[in-house]
Structure 1
Amino acid sequence: MKLFSISALATFSALATSHVAQATNSFAGSNLYYAAGLSPSERVTLFSGMQSAGMKVLRVWLDGQSTASTKGTAITSYPSLETSAVGTYDDTVLNLLDAVMIDANEYGIKLLISMHSWNALSGGDIYGQWYGTGYFYEWANATSQFDNRLLHVLNHKHNTLGTPWKSMSKYIFGFEAQNEAMIGKGEAYIQAHQNWQCDRATTIKNELGSNSGILVVTGGESWMSESVQPSWLSCSAIDVISIHAYGVGDYSTSSITTYVNNAKSAGKKLLFQEWGACYYDTENNSCPVGNVLATSTRNSNLKNWASQITAAGVPWLYWQVLPNDDPHYDLDFEIGIGDVSWSTLQSAALAARQATAAFDYSAYLL
């Protein structure tokens, strides 16, 4: 046996302690694009359920919604942030989210705020009407006006606390400019216009400042490789690159690990921001209708795919946890709290909280 001096042992012990301290647990969360419209009782149902699953982040959107467009959830309808004209703001959705973030905080949950979505643009919102889905990303006037929207959101003063959102790291996990930017234009278009994402991230980061405690996040794309564009790894304003993927090949631990290593080398974090297990027996990334899977099969899919993502060290947000029974509308990945698959998702999220992450998010979580 080799003997060590006391000083050598002390040094070894310090290094070992430092190594252990750097290890951090992963986490899980959910999306709910219409969360702004939830009633107080629905918020209690959602957040208490998420808390029971150890979930730490809820991703929300700012696009107008009504009960007719939700997953069986009766909500307070609200308009989009900009409805009548670009640059004319209706803060209803921001004011509603003021209440949501306070309730979420009581359950140890922060909000990830997506400040616009491709869905709204392509669906003909005011930006779609003025610029369409091409000029919106290409014309300087459009990007300048959209940057004004981002700044308006960041500087919105909480209607109870009186603090601008850009200073509310206790309640806000991160901001992203747009959900799935350019997704309907195709991968070649996204590759050719990678600068749009970095430029918007720079607008957000400059307004937040370098020590805000709030992350600047991309909004994901269609699948793994499309979600992680090369220049986003080198963009100094981007903190987190979001992965959206529903094809089961992208849930492979070995596939994810390749991207983890690339992100770590670039000093970036990854977040599996959207994924789900289809309710039907169709291909998982094409889930509008089909024969209903056996509950045991869907639960097995949920458990296995979540564990593979977790094993790669990437935190994840499920699409979506509902505060009501899932009505099984089209594109059915949702799971309602109390549904037959809820306990499986709950267990998978709790397992993520016990697993080691490849990225240290501890400073951004409650």
Structure 2
Amino acid sequence: MRFSLASAVVLLLDLGVSVQGIPKMKRASSSFAGSNLYFLHGLSASDQSYYINQLANDGAKVIRIWVNGLSKGCVKGSNVVDDISEFETTIGDYNYDTLAKLDAVLAQTSAKGIKAIISPHDGNDIHDSSTSGNGCDIYCSTYGTSFYSSSQAKTQYDARIAAILNYQSPSSGKKWGQWSDAILAFDLENEPFQFTDDGANDDPSDWLCGRAQNFKSVLGSSSVKVATGGIGGDHSHGYNMLPAALNCSSIDLMSIHSYVGDASSWSGILSGDEKVAAAANKLIYVEEWGVSTSYNSDFNDQAAAINSAGYPWIYWQFIPGDDGTESCNSGCCTGYDGFEIGFNSSKGDIRTAIAKANSATTIQNWNIL
């Protein structure tokens, strides 16, 4: 087939290649939006069903869940009815009932066409609770901030990851690492290096790529992806796009965690990150963002800014209960942090924001759902 110069330029632009100063075009691809909900597996069966059905009805394609323990009571305006053990209360001794609870959630979300990103551990839990504001889990009490540099801790964490990826789903009969119909990706961890200097030193212990290589060795030929999980926590800390991760071939997705007061901030954040991600052949997405009631820009404006920039996103967090601005109808109205949005809240138009995300043309080729 013969190509004219004009048709060749059009083809290159469609592929996202700059041609002699001509800017890259956004390309039509499969964008998405969804929500984090780290306590979904602790809700009642009726609340789980309501939440998942509502997400599906609003067009959500992705949900982010965590392998974590929970205690009964009010969490972010919703009622956790089950005490769920941490996956490890003794290192190497796995509480598989925790995964069974999550598996029941995955069965429901996958049936509705929603894929999960799973965070297998919370990096905030490896620090003393007085420092991080979170709990102190078994890795915290054993290693503290040496978790990332200890060779023994790396070996033990790699074993944890293998146990999670090799867990055979009671719902599907597949190992989680092979259950691509239900699982889009696994984070390395939620917010690694949040309270350490590893980010500032560009991961001197090779924790990120070493763990990603372990993920890939267990995943094999699976299409399930490996994501960073928001290196260093909030984007303002400067480590979401850490070179050690960008240069690691075993990492597929670079996760942005960013909480900004003004919608105008998003264009600069995303355009800057896209340049370095594209150069490293990585996809980027906004894995956590949230709008406090004290921010200058509300949810609708910030969602519009992210959608206009052309990046998939997962909000922190849509909740099944009331969000604190609503009259309490669920019998559980405590524990808010100001970022939650209930489905019937006036804080934001969830359905419209998701619909615009799903129809957005993206900067990168996100055809992996």
User: Which residue, out of 42, 50, 54, partners 1:45?
Assistant: 50
Would the aligned equivalents of 2:198 and 2:204 in 1 still touch at CA under 8 Å? no
Shift of 1:16: 5.9
| 1:242 partner SS | strand
CA distance in 1, matches of 2:276, 2:121: 28
Q: How does 1:84-99 map to 2 (within 5 A)?
A: 85-99=90-104
More helix by proportion, 1 or 2?
1
Supply the AA of the counterpart residue of 2:304.
S
Q: How many aligned residue pairs are there?
A: 338
Shift of 1:349: 1.5
**Compared CA separation, residues 25 and 191, structure 1 to 2 (3 A):** same
| 2:298 partner SS | helix
Render the CA deviation track for 1:41-85: whole Å, top value 9, x for unaligned. Answer: 2122112221232211111111111133621322222011001x1
**1:306 maps onto 2:317 in alignment:** no
Quote the residue 2:136 is aligned against.
124
Q: How does 1:31-110 map to 2 (within 5 A)?
A: 31-68=36-73, 70-75=75-80, 76-83=82-89, 85-110=90-115
Shift of 1:203: 0.7
**Compared CA separation, residues 251 and 18, structure 1 to 2 (3 A):** closer
Q: Which runs of 5+ in 2 are unaligned?
A: 16-25, 128-134, 324-332
Quote the residue 2:167 is aligned against.
156
CA distance in 2, matches of 1:324, 1:188: 36
**1:142 maps onto 2:142 in alignment:** no
Quote the residue 1:3 is aligned against.
none
CA distance in 2, matches of 1:253, 1:189: 24
Render the CA deviation track for 1:119-174: whole Å, top value 9, x for unaligned. Answer: 32222211111111x22111100110011000000000001322110110000010
Would the aligned equivalents of 2:27 and 2:362 in 1 still touch at CA under 8 Å? no
Would the aligned equivalents of 2:75 and 2:334 in 1 still touch at CA under 8 Å? no
CA distance in 1, matches of 2:38, 2:112: 19
Would the aligned equivalents of 2:168 and 2:176 in 1 still touch at CA under 8 Å? yes
CA distance in 2, matches of 1:190, 1:272: 24
User: Which residue, out of 301, 313, 318, partners 2:315?
Assistant: 318
User: Which residue, out of 276, 279, 282, partners 1:265?
Assistant: 279
Supply the AA of the counterpart residue of 2:347.
S
| 2:284 partner SS | strand
CA distance in 2, matches of 1:157, 1:213: 17
CA distance in 2, matches of 1:330, 1:70: 8
Quote the residue 1:30 is aligned against.
35
**Compared CA separation, residues 230 and 353, structure 1 to 2 (3 A):** same
Quote the residue 1:176 is aligned against.
187
Root-mean-square deviation (Å): 2.7
Would the aligned equivalents of 2:75 and 2:335 in 1 still touch at CA under 8 Å? no
| 2:250 partner SS | coil
Quote the residue 2:340 is aligned against.
334
**Compared CA separation, residues 360 and 86, structure 1 to 2 (3 A):** same
Supply the AA of the counterpart residue of 1:245.
S
Q: Which runs of 5+ in 1 are unaligned?
A: 1-5, 285-296
CA distance in 1, matches of 2:265, 2:92: 40
Would the aligned equivalents of 2:225 and 2:253 in 1 still touch at CA under 8 Å? yes
Would the aligned equivalents of 1:245 and 1:274 in 2 still touch at CA under 8 Å? yes
Supply the AA of the counterpart residue of 2:342.
G
Shift of 1:18: 10
Shift of 1:190: 6.0
Supply the AA of the counterpart residue of 1:207.
V
| 1:191 partner SS | coil
Render the CA deviation track for 1:98-118: whole Å, top value 9, x for unaligned. Answer: 111111012210111100002
Quote the residue 1:236 is aligned against.
249
Would the aligned equivalents of 2:32 and 2:357 in 1 still touch at CA under 8 Å? yes
Would the aligned equivalents of 2:213 and 2:250 in 1 still touch at CA under 8 Å? yes
Render the CA deviation track for 1:279-304: whole Å, top value 9, x for unaligned. Answer: 2x2xx4xxxxxxxxxxxx7xx62122
User: Which residue, out of 218, 222, 228, partners 1:212?
Assistant: 222
Would the aligned equivalents of 2:28 and 2:361 in 1 still touch at CA under 8 Å? yes
CA distance in 2, matches of 1:195, 1:86: 22
Would the aligned equivalents of 2:87 and 2:96 in 1 still touch at CA under 8 Å? yes
Would the aligned equivalents of 1:321 and 1:337 in 2 still touch at CA under 8 Å? yes
Quote the residue 2:130 is aligned against.
none
Would the aligned equivalents of 2:199 and 2:239 in 1 still touch at CA under 8 Å? no
User: Which residue, out of 156, 180, 195, partners 2:206?
Assistant: 195
CA distance in 1, matches of 2:175, 2:364: 28
Render the CA deviation track for 1:336-366: whole Å, top value 9, x for unaligned. Answer: 1212224x13211111111111222323x2x
CA distance in 2, matches of 1:247, 1:22: 26
Would the aligned equivalents of 2:27 and 2:363 in 1 still touch at CA under 8 Å? no
Supply the AA of the counterpart residue of 2:223.
G
Identity of aligned residues (%): 32
Would the aligned equivalents of 2:77 and 2:321 in 1 still touch at CA under 8 Å? yes
CA distance in 2, matches of 1:254, 1:128: 36
